[in-house]
Amino acid sequence: MSTNAVDSKTAGVRNERLVIELLRSEGGLSQAEICENIGLGSSTISYIVGRLREKSLIVERPGQSSKRGAKPILIDINPAGQFIVGTEINPSYILTGLFDFRSELVDQIKVSLDSGHSVENVVHLLEVNIKGLLSKNDISQDKLTGVGMTLSGSISSKGVVQLSSPMGWKNVPLKELLRQKFDCSVNIYTTKVRLLAEMNTQPVLSSKNIVYLNVGNGVGTTVIIDGRLIHGSTNRCGELGHIVIDSNGPVCGCGRRGCLEAHISGPAIAKKIKEDLAAGTSSILSESLTEQDASEDTAEKWKQAIADSDEYAIRLCEFVADKLSRAAAIAINLYDPDMFILAGYISMVCSEYFIERIKNRFETDVYDEPSRNIEVITARSGQQALIRGVAVAVLQEQLKLE
């Protein structure tokens, strides 16, 4: 093939992706509007639309015309044109979501990992779950164009899980193992993809400088500056979870003492509640909590206890707000964002109080705070944040313009 032929093929793929991107964000456009938006001639757009029609990636319907004459044909993304799978692997469960070409969740399956964390077991469950979801929804495997996974840990660009302490994995070639099971692209992501889900849910965020703090099993931070995800030299940019808040505090998973994570992560709070109750603190939580409760259950019961005006439950909010707001102020001084997003249990348990305390702390601890305009909001992408974020990352990868 001549260089020119390669160039024109690349340009063709690029133009096709541009049209798909446009239709995914706008939708319902006539060919003339597509030409205008992309700046290509009508014959080129006609050709691209024809190719997308052949691949069943678009649907067409008559639109409304304000003037007399033929109604324009409006072109839209065909949600059933392609499907993507996004999976969250964590020590308690595997959550797998099937997403359509619009990134809408079609169906999901959650299985517990009581059967063990061995790589063989997890890969087997992933294969069974994904193929099961496809067949349950009558979707053939050739419609599946991408599979993405996320888990807590450090992940190489080749999809090797170098270290995942929660899963007890070291140097696991997860991408390669899964590629043997699926005839489509496979990618492994860090949990930073959460923020992509948030941006997908709240498109207004796409132009912001954002610090996104997720408090779940650990404390993770994602930073977007000038619209770009910041990784750092070892992928650890924004490790707010390991800022030492109190050097006499509890021992952290990282081996040091008093990190933010050791104070306010879900498991840290669950542990603190147990210890406080065992030491004789009076609270209605002593009746509702059980040994089997995961940290998510504890957060739910804590929230209920606050609603019931339990004094201890309210004091616990003050404890978290104090640590959280100190870390938030440090993040503002470091990254200069215009938006701070709270995610995880802190977005579900007394979030308004946390937001108020964070804003108060900004007034005292943030340099030149009056001249800044920092919004503090809670995440909206909910329980599906990780699988949705993975699905968005997979699609972005597929539509990437070289």
Q: Which is nearer to Zn ion, 17 or 242 (CB)?
A: 242
Please give the radius of gyration of the chain, using alpha carbons only, rounded to the nearest integer.
24
Q: What is the C-alpha to C-alpha distance for residues 77 and 243, in angstroms, rounded to an integer?
A: 45
CA-wise closest residue to 145 among 393, 392, 395, 387: 395
Q: What is the C-alpha to C-alpha distance for residues 374 and 371, in angstroms, rounded to an integer?
A: 10
Q: How far is the CB of 259 from Zn ion (least distance, A)?
A: 3
Q: Which is nearer to Zn ion, 264 or 358 (CB)?
A: 264
Q: How far is the CB of 258 from Zn ion (least distance, A)?
A: 8
Q: How far is the CB of 370 from Zn ion (least distance, A)?
A: 33
Q: Which is nearer to Zn ion, 172 or 252 (CB)?
A: 252
Q: Which is nearer to Zn ion, 103 or 222 (CB)?
A: 222
What is the DSSP code string of 209-262? -EEEEEESSSEEEEEEETTEE---TTS-TT-GGGSBS-TTSPBPTTSSBSBHHH
Q: Which is nearer to Zn ion, 251 or 307 (CB)?
A: 251
Q: How far is the CB of 272 from Zn ion (least distance, A)?
A: 16
Q: What is the C-alpha to C-alpha distance for residues 198 and 191, in angstroms, rounded to an integer?
A: 13
What are the Cα distances from residue 15, in Å, to 11, 32, 167, 312, 361?
6, 15, 42, 60, 49
Q: How far is the CB of 322 from Zn ion (least distance, A)?
A: 18
Q: How far is the CB of 253 from Zn ion (least distance, A)?
A: 6
Q: Which is nearer to Zn ion, 124 or 256 (CB)?
A: 256
Question: By the criterion CB under 5 A, which residues form the site for Zn ion?
Answer: 242, 252, 254, 259
Q: Tell me the sheet residues that pair with 108.
A: 97
